[in-house]
C-alpha cells in the first residue's frame, strides 16, 4: 500500500492500518484485509481511474439505505480506494443459510421503483452497466441487457458474428416467452456464491452489487447459473413471493443469457458455447 492509501484509510477509519493481507475475489484491482490499530479488520479494494469502485461504494450505500439487504458499511469510496467493514464469513451456505437468504432476497425484491433501470449507470464485473429508465421491462431487457452486452462482446472480438446475429433473432422474439412484470423490483444484480457471505447458518452480507430495478426473476435465474442456491432457497422464497409458471422451464434460461454474455465479454471461451446452446434451445 502506498503512503497516500494508508493516509486515506487512517482518515476514513480513525485508526492506523497495521497489516495488509491479500484476499481472493474481485474483478477490479487488489482486495486486502486490513488489520487496524484499534483491533478491527476492514476490507480495502484498490483501483484507478474509471475502475468503478466509486459506483460500487454508492451501490452498497444505496442498498443499505433503501433495502433490508445486509451489506458491509462503506467508510470510503472513490475509484482509487473502496474501504469497507469486514463481515464474518465461514463460506458455508447450509439449509438454514439458504432459508435466511431467501427471506432477505424476497424482502429486497419487495422494494419497487418507478421504472426498469436505475437513476444512473452501475457496474457488473468491472463493466459499465447502462440503466436508462424504461417503463417496459421487455424493451429494457432486450436493448440494455441482451443486445447491449451482446454488441459489446461482439465489438470486443469475443462473440462471433453469427452468434450475435442469432442473439438479435432471439431478442426480436422475446415477447413469445416473457410478459411484463407487475412492478420493477430492486435487484442485487450479481448474486453468485462468491458475493454471498455467511457465518454459522446466517447470511452476514451481500457484496459486489450490480443494482438496478428489474423483473425479480432475472436475479433468481442467476442464482441457479453457478449453483448459488438450490431447492431449499426457492421453497422458502416462494412462501414470500410465489413464482409464475414457466420460470424454471423457460424464462430462467432466457434471463441467464445476460450473465453469460457478461462472462463472454470478460472471458470468452466456454461461455460462448453456453450462449449458443441457449439460442439453439429457443430455435434461434
Cβ distance 77 to 57 under 8 Å?
yes
Check residue 26 and give its pLDDT: 55
Q: Of 273, 270, 272, 265, whose CA–CA distance to 125 is shortest?
A: 265
Cβ distance 16 to 26 under 8 Å?
no
Cβ distance 120 to 101 under 8 Å?
no
- What's the pLDDT tens digit per position in 115-173? 999 999 999 999 999 999 999 999 999 999 999 999 999 999 999 999 999 999 999 99
Q: Cell numbers 469497507 label which residue?
A: 84
Cα 269 from chain centroid (whole Å): 21
* Lookup: cell for 35: 488489520
- pLDDT greater than 60 at residue 27: no
83 CB-side CA count, 13 A: 23
Higher pLDDT, 145 or 50: 145
Cβ distance 93 to 198 under 8 Å?
yes
Check residue 25 and give its pLDDT: 61
For 127, residues 6+ apart whose C-beta sits below 8 A from its C-beta are 149, 152, 262, 265, 266
Beta partners for residue 21, in sequence order: 33
- pLDDT greater than 60 at residue 221: yes
> Cβ of 119: how many Cβ atoms within 10 Å?
12
Average pLDDT estimate for 21-37: 81
For 50, residues 6+ apart whose C-beta sits below 8 A from its C-beta are 79
Average pLDDT estimate for 273-282: 97
Query: Is there a catalytic annotation at residue 190?
Result: yes
> Cβ of 180: how many Cβ atoms within 10 Å?
13
Specify the CATH number of the domain 95-281. Answer: 3.90.1200.10
* Lookup: cell for 96: 438454514
Q: In the β-sheet with 81-85, what is the strand arrangement from edge to edge?
A: 17-23, 31-36, 41-46, 81-85, 74-77
Share of the chain above pLDDT 70, in %: 98
| Boundaries of every domain in the chain | 3-85, 95-281
Tally: H helices and E strands in the chain:
11, 11
- The full DSSP string for 176-203 is GT----SS-EEE-S--SGGGEEEETTEE
Question: For residue 28, what pLDDT band results from cuts at 50, 70 and 90?
Answer: low
Q: Of 61, 68, 66, whose CA–CA distance to 84 is shortest?
A: 61
CATH fold, domain 3-85, is Phosphorylase Kinase; domain 1 (3.30.200)
The total number of residues written for the chain in this structure: 284
Check residue 269 and give its pLDDT: 87
Question: For residue 210, what pLDDT band results from cuts at 50, 70 and 90?
Answer: very high
Question: Hey, CA dihedral for 178, 269, 153, 259, is it positive or negative?
Answer: positive
- Give helix 270-281 / helix 161-172 axis angle, nearest 10°: 40
What does the alpha-carbon distance between residue 42 and residue 18 come to, in Å, rounded to a whole number?
A: 11
Q: Is this structure's pTM higher than 0.85?
A: yes
Catalytic residue (one of 190, 208, 215, 253): 190
Amino acid at each position: 500500500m502506498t503512503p497516500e492509501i494508508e493516509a486515506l484509510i487512517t482518515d476514513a477509519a480513525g485508526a492506523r492500518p497495521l497489516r495488509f493481507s491479500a484476499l481472493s475475489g474481485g474483478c477490479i484491482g487488489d482486495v486486502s484485509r486490513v488489520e487496524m490499530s484499534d483491533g478491527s479488520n476492514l476490507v480495502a479494494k484498490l483501483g484507478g481511474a474509471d475502475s468503478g469502485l466509486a459506483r460500487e461504494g454508492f451501490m452498497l450505500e444505496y442498498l443499505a439505505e433503501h433495502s433490508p439487504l445486509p451489506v458491509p458499511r462503506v467508510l470510503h469510496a472513490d475509484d482509487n480506494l473502496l474501504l469497507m467493514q469486514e463481515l464474518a464469513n465461514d463460506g458455508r451456505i447450509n439449509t438454514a443459510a439458504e432459508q435466511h437468504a431467501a427471506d432477505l432476497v424476497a424482502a429486497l425484491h419487495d422494494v419497487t421503483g418507478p421504472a426498469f433501470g436505475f437513476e444512473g449507470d452501475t457496474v457488473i464485473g468491472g463493466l459499465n452497466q447502462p440503466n436508462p429508465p424504461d417503463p417496459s421491462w421487455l424493451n429494457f431487457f432486450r436493448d440494455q441487457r441482451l443486445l447491449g452486452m451482446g454488441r459489446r462482446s461482439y465489438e470486443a472480438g469475443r462473440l462471433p458474428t453469427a452468434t450475435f446475429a442469432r442473439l438479435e433473432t432471439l431478442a426480436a422474439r422475446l415477447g413469445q416467452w416473457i410478459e411484463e412484470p407487475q412492478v420493477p423490483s430492486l435487484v442485487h444484480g450479481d448474486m453468485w456464491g462468491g458475493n454471498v457471505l455467511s457465518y454459522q447458518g446466517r447470511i452476514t452480507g451481500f457484496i459486489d452489487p450490480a443494482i438496478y430495478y428489474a423483473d425479480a426473476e432475472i436475479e433468481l435465474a442467476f442464482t441457479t447459473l453457478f449453483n448459488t442456491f438450490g431447492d431449499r432457497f426457492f421453497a422458502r422464497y416462494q412462501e414470500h413471493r410465489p413464482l409464475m409458471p414457466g420460470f424454471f422451464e423457460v424464462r430462467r434460461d432466457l434471463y441467464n443469457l445476460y450473465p453469460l454474455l457478461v462472462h463472454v465479454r470478460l472471458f470468452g471461451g466456454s461461455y460462448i458455447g453456453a450462449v449458443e446452446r441457449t439460442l439453439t434451445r429457443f430455435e434461434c
